[in-house]
Amino acid sequence: MDKPKVIVICGPTASGKTALSIELAKKINGEIISSDSMQIYKDMDIGTAKPSKEEMQGIKHYLLDFVEPNQRYSVAEYKKDAEAAIEEILAKGKTPIIVGGTGLYVDSLIYGIEYQDIELDEEYRNELEQRATKEGLQTLYEEAQKIDAKAMGKISPNDKKRILRVLEIYKATGKTKTQQEIESRQKGVKYDYEVYAINWERELLYERINKRVDIMIEQGLIQEVEDLLKKYNQFPTAMQGLGYKEVVEYLQGKTTKEEMIEKIKMETRRYAKRQITWFKKNKQTIWIGPHDLQKILEKEK
């Protein structure tokens, strides 16, 4: 029996995934499931470039704007919620379209990876946070490398969230993140995923990123962060997102406004580079131009 088809539109930040996926959904009677680890959060709209109701053009979106910023949300939870959304869309006789740039979210689906939903060990997390402050994040990065070199090959030395996660997984299960992925992939994949990634010339992409950051500042990103800090008393992962942690540093007087803006641009460009590297490792990915809707439509006939 043929597996149901699911289309994936991925690629780096600011590459035009939202606009392309909405046009595609209108053409093929599809609905969209976000695979963005920041757009899941409520009250975080500007810094995550969350699509507005107007931009959605009547296309139903799933897994946007439904997690409180003071809550944790795991990859295991995402996979469960995304597959429930896929089933809901298929039951309507429509085509599910996965859209986003969070590689872990995308991989959990297209490779059928069962990430264990490990209960957080608050004591160990606090210990790691304290060590990161006292000893430096590089120490924990090197420690994680010794445990799981393959997983760390995909993780930036500045990505505290994922570095700590590699260490937490190993402590909680006695298995590396890579071991878990290998074991879970043996179970197979539920759907026939057709994966497309949007490709830009690097300089043009960087120009788009810089412009997007300027627009976010104009739209009120600083005020958005101030409102979040007033409304919520803790942020387990939400404030580690690009743009947010830099604004917090600015509000704490650690940087000037100009330094903050330049840092957001620089870190976003670096993130886009890592995203491109991540998606290139999937040999089945079909790379398309930023406006190449026709190529997808022809392939999906």
Closest by Cα among 48, 187, 189, 173 to 107: 189
pLDDT tens digits for range 232-281: 988 878 888 899 999 999 999 999 999 999 999 999 999 999 999 989 88
Tokens of 286: 């079909």
Tokens of 31: 């609905």
Say yes or no: 258 and 224 in one domain.
Answer: yes
Q: Give the pLDDT band of residue 89 (cuts 50, 70, 90).
A: very high
Mean pLDDT of 182-190: 73
Residue 28 pLDDT > 70, yes or no?
yes
Residue 164 pLDDT > 90, yes or no?
no
Say yes or no: 72 and 217 in one domain.
Answer: no
Higher pLDDT, 223 or 117: 223
Residue 301 pLDDT > 70, yes or no?
no
C-alpha torsion 273→180→10→99, nearest 10: -140
Q: What are phi and psi of 224, to 5 degrees?
A: -60, -45
Say yes or no: 133 and 190 in one domain.
Answer: no
- Point out the least confidently predicted range of 53-57, 111-115, 274-278: 111-115
Q: What does pTM read for this prediction?
A: 0.83
Closest by Cα among 238, 290, 280, 297 to 14: 290
Q: Give the pLDDT band of residue 298 (cuts 50, 70, 90).
A: confident
| Burial group, residue 233, by CB count within 10 angstroms (0-12, 13-18, 19+) | exposed
Domain count along the chain: 3
Say yes or no: 152 and 168 in one domain.
Answer: yes
- Point out the least confidently predicted range of 28-37, 120-129, 147-156, 163-172: 120-129
Q: Which residues does 29 contact at the CB level (< 8 Å), separation at least 6?
A: 93, 94, 95
Q: Give the pLDDT band of residue 29 (cuts 50, 70, 90).
A: very high
CATH number for the domain that contains residue 259: 1.10.287.890
Tell me which residue range forms the domain holding 256. Answer: 203-272
pLDDT given at position 1? 63
Say yes or no: 131 and 229 in one domain.
Answer: no
Closest by Cα among 106, 101, 65 to 212: 101
Say yes or no: 193 and 209 in one domain.
Answer: no
C-alpha torsion 102→247→212→103, nearest 10: -10
Say yes or no: 57 and 107 in one domain.
Answer: yes
pLDDT given at position 181? 74
Q: 3-class SS at 27?
A: helix
Residue 24 pLDDT > 90, yes or no?
yes
Say yes or no: 262 and 128 in one domain.
Answer: no
Residue 217 pLDDT > 80, yes or no?
yes
Counting every residue written for the chain, the total comes to 301
pLDDT given at position 116? 67
Whether the CB-CB separation of 197 and 11 falls below 8 Å is answered with yes
Say yes or no: 10 and 105 in one domain.
Answer: yes
Whether the CB-CB separation of 41 and 69 falls below 8 Å is answered with yes
CATH number for the domain that contains residue 62: 3.40.50.300
Evaluate whether residue 133 is within a structural domain: yes
C-alpha torsion 27→7→42→123, nearest 10: 180
pLDDT given at position 179? 85
Closest by Cα among 274, 241, 271 to 40: 241
Q: 3-class SS at 259?
A: helix
pLDDT given at position 186? 61
Say yes or no: 238 and 293 in one domain.
Answer: no
Q: Give the pLDDT band of residue 113 (cuts 50, 70, 90).
A: confident
Say yes or no: 192 and 44 in one domain.
Answer: yes
Whether the CB-CB separation of 79 and 109 falls below 8 Å is answered with yes
Alpha-helical regions (H) of 66-110: 75-91, 103-110
Whole-angstrom CA distances from 79 to 43, 225, 245 are 23, 28, 26
